[in-house]
Chain A
Amino acid sequence: MVLPPRPGVGFKPQHYAGLTGDPGPVEWVEVHAENYMGDGGRALAQLASLQDRFALSVHGVGLSIGGEGRLDADHLSRVKRVCERFGPASFSEHLAWSTHEGVFFNDLLPLPYREDTLARTAAHVQEVQEALARPILIENPSVYVTLPASEMDEIDFLTELAARTGCGLLLDVNNVLVSATNRQTDPLDYIDRFPHALVGEIHLGGHAVDADERGAPLLIDDHAHPVAPQVWALLDRTLALAGPRPVLIEWDNDLPDWPALRAEATRAGAALDRVR
């Protein structure tokens, strides 16, 4: 079972009636694993009923795969329980860390790219894949700073991570624009150099625009806005190079009503139709 190379949406309970009543082109949904770890209640029942109609992707935000410490065994077993309960077509996580010495930061924080962090991250990816008995996807991060401690290019790091572990990659095109702008590099170059054959899923989302101390643009990945025009253009480029892939609209904060979110999915569907 794999995700269809069609539009999906990040599912929010507020959209349950809209999504099930008038899904438009949406063929799959993605949920954060951490929101489905209760013992019972509405969330689990809703997701079980969505599964009758939509393919499912489970997206983890708490495993801290890029972190220095060991993986949290309790949390990994909770992720495993969610995957066993729902049998999703895909499980993905981030090239980032979110926990340090037991404190959870509720954010996806950056790691320097070096041989030692690569070896450590690869070991964590392998541990997750062994626990879940499946290959997973790892997402490129949105970053706000360039870490002087980095010695490797992000794409080289991700490509080598996939080569060592057999994981696939989740290409977040909004993150590409956010990070490239913040690092003052070229987002098109990033899209062109990304290992397209490894892309199992694409994310689109909104960002906020700010400026740093010197007035240079600072983009913030807030998932609270419509997908930006430059991101739609980068999606076209990505699909032209990679071919049709599952494309997700992520909108997590300041939620729009369902028709507005469906319209974003429709636009993603049109982009996919152009590369059929």
Chain B
Amino acid sequence: MTGRSFQADFARAVREPDRPLPGGLTDSRRFAVYRNTHAVTLAEALAQGFPVVAALVGAEFFSALAGAYRMAHPPRSPLLRLYGRAFPDFIAGFPPAAALPYLADVARLEWALLDSAEAADARALPPASLAALPPDRLYAARLVLAPAVRLLSSAHPVLSIWRAHQPGGAAPGPRPGPAPGAERILITRPAFDPTPAALSNASFAALRMLASGATVGEAARHGDLTEVFTLLLDGGAITGIS
């Protein structure tokens, strides 16, 4: 024993299975219960949060990926829902995943969906109150978007990949070769289920301006707002105007 505390030795032996057992313990099968619980429950939490990533790479690869992530990014909060926050960037820098260049962006989409699900509730503005605005007032207005709204842009068709893995979707096998093509995505949360939708490049550019505080008139100069307003209103995503 060194001068380290009981808990420090125990914690290290749980995290690093090739360490000797701590504090005079001798039965490695008993201690393995702690090691397994730590590794397996954290990997399961990731697989639950990132089911499409898990499906794309298969169980064996995912287990190795989750293990590498656990060592590089141990959870720093008792809130397990935050554990996957750094997972997309970790995948982007994980050499064995380089053959799947879209994987990190699929993870970004799944993280955005998780994050949206627990964002604050907000009451949507009734569509009629927007329709009632005179055109000049509407053009001068800035939109307040719901806290659950998320915008994503990817050089890969990540929403198409994600959709193919939803129940009833045509998942093209564990490793699809997706057609090249960028996708721009808006997530809204009507009621409680985060719902992603794809937008054209021009609509996405206008939406991005609205989301960063531009007026409707300014955003309209960057693209047709019809698609944007339809998606935002359907998703209950406009909570106010200023």
Residue A140 is within 8 A (CB to CB) of chain B in the complex: no
**Does A149 contact B24, Cβ atoms closer than 8 Å?**
yes
Report B169 CB to chain A, min CB distance, Å: 22
Interface bits B133-160 vs A (CB < 8 Å: 1, else 0): 0000000000000011000000000000
**Does A149 contact B120, Cβ atoms closer than 8 Å?**
no
**Does B119 contact A41, Cβ atoms closer than 8 Å?**
yes
Contact status of A100 and B23, CB under 8 A, knowing A42-B192, A72-B78, A218-B29 = no
**Does B30 contact A212, Cβ atoms closer than 8 Å?**
yes
Contact status of A145 and B31, CB under 8 A, knowing A103-B76, A105-B14 = yes
Q: What is the chain A residue whose CB lies nearest that of B21?
A: A145
Contact status of A61 and B78, CB under 8 A, knowing A106-B45, A144-B30, A218-B30 = yes
Residue A119 is within 8 A (CB to CB) of chain B in the complex: no
Cα A214 to Cα B5 in complex, Å, equals: 29
Q: What is the chain A residue whose CB lies nearest that of B193?
A: A42
Interface bits A135-155 vs B (CB < 8 Å: 1, else 0): 000000000110111000000
Q: What is the chain B residue whose CB lies nearest that of A75?
A: B78
Which residues of the partner chain B approach A112 to less than 8 Å between Cβ atoms? 6, 23
Residue B27 is within 8 A (CB to CB) of chain A in the complex: yes
Which residues of the partner chain B approach A43 to less than 8 Å between Cβ atoms? 118
**Does A34 contact B33, Cβ atoms closer than 8 Å?**
no
**Does B80 contact A144, Cβ atoms closer than 8 Å?**
no
**Does A34 contact B80, Cβ atoms closer than 8 Å?**
yes
Report A56 CB to chain B, min CB distance, Å: 20
**Does B7 contact A98, Cβ atoms closer than 8 Å?**
no
**Does A101 contact B6, Cβ atoms closer than 8 Å?**
no
Query: Contacting B11 at CB < 8 Å: which of A37, A40, A101?
Result: A101
Contact status of A103 and B15, CB under 8 A, knowing A45-B192, A149-B6, A218-B33 = yes
Contacting residues of chain B (96-129) with chain A, CB-CB under 8 angstroms: 117-122
Contact status of A62 and B11, CB under 8 A, knowing A106-B45, A212-B29 = no
**Does B7 contact A97, Cβ atoms closer than 8 Å?**
yes
Residue B75 is within 8 A (CB to CB) of chain A in the complex: yes
**Does B78 contact A62, Cβ atoms closer than 8 Å?**
yes
**Does B34 contact A144, Cβ atoms closer than 8 Å?**
yes
Cα A145 to Cα B29 in complex, Å, equals: 10
Cα A37 to Cα B23 in complex, Å, equals: 35
**Does A103 contact B119, Cβ atoms closer than 8 Å?**
no
**Does A109 contact B34, Cβ atoms closer than 8 Å?**
yes
Residue A229 is within 8 A (CB to CB) of chain B in the complex: no
Interface bits A204-230 vs B (CB < 8 Å: 1, else 0): 000000111110001010000000000
Which residues of the partner chain A approach B148 to less than 8 Å between Cβ atoms? 40
Contact status of A213 and B27, CB under 8 A, knowing A34-B78, A104-B76, A220-B33 = yes
Residue B62 is within 8 A (CB to CB) of chain A in the complex: no
Which residues of the partner chain A approach B25 to less than 8 Å between Cβ atoms? 145, 147-148
Cα A37 to Cα B10 in complex, Å, equals: 29
Q: What is the chain B residue whose CB lies nearest that of A214?
A: B27
Chain A positions within 8 Å of B, measured between CB atoms, are 34, 37-45, 61-64, 67-68, 72, 75, 78, 97-107, 109-112, 144-145, 147-149, 182, 210-214, 218, 220
Chain B positions within 8 Å of A, measured between CB atoms, are 5-8, 10-11, 14-15, 23-25, 27-31, 33-34, 37-38, 41-42, 45, 74-81, 117-122, 147-148, 192-193
